[in-house]
Amino acid sequence: MQPRLDVFSTTDTKQFLDRLRRLVMDEAATARFAIERIWSRPIPTRVAEGHAIEGVRIQFLDRDGYLHLMCDRNVSRFREGDILCLNRGDPFQMPQCMVTLELEETPELIVSVNPLEADIAIMQREPNGWILDEGFLDLSAYLLDALDEAGDTAIGRERILPLLMGNLRPTMDVPHYERGLALGESFALNWSQTEALAQAYATNLVYLIQGPPGTGKTMLAS
């Protein structure tokens, strides 16, 4: 049985939202501080500790919008899906932009870049002497906007906030779950993908699918 909206105290909801906002801002500040401590170290130290790749060269931007880079040596800890900062030696100064590492096969590196945050044409005029540092993606503004929307909209007050507060729980329908398993098998999904599809298909309200890059999340969602 799902609880009624008027069961929840407006004061409790406001306090809960305020705590979430503080948590978002505190986590963003902590992450930014940790990255800036790394950026403040000399380049040789960042490279030796696996936090940077030096001697990066910009090759070209392909038709799909991916930026192809080259490097002579890569001893970093970076893996596909990591957010990195492409810069000219000082990540605190422009030109610099945040990129996502899509493919790491030294000496080639392929990254995706937001064209709204970087002028690729200008960057290609100076193709040599770039550095890839550990990056930071600050999503706090988007999260704060989402929390505001949750507090201001009917679906936020009736579904999202009760779910986050633990006052409303999703339920699963067994026949729908079995139907989801059959669908996954018909689509030739592997077991993990089939299980995720069946759980999402059978669960009302909300179901979270998560996993590392390359596990088929986007394909499953489509």
Tens of pLDDT, residue by residue over 121-166, are 888 889 999 999 999 888 999 999 999 999 899 888 888 899 888 8
Length of the chain: 222
* pLDDT at 111 (0 to 100): 95
Rounded to two decimals, the pTM is 0.70
3-class DSSP assignment, residue 163: helix
In 3D space, the residue among 51, 66, 141, 137 whose CA is nearest the CA of residue 98 turns out to be: 137
Tens of pLDDT, residue by residue over 98-122, are 999 999 888 999 999 877 677 788 8
Per-residue pLDDT, averaged over 17-34, amounts to 95
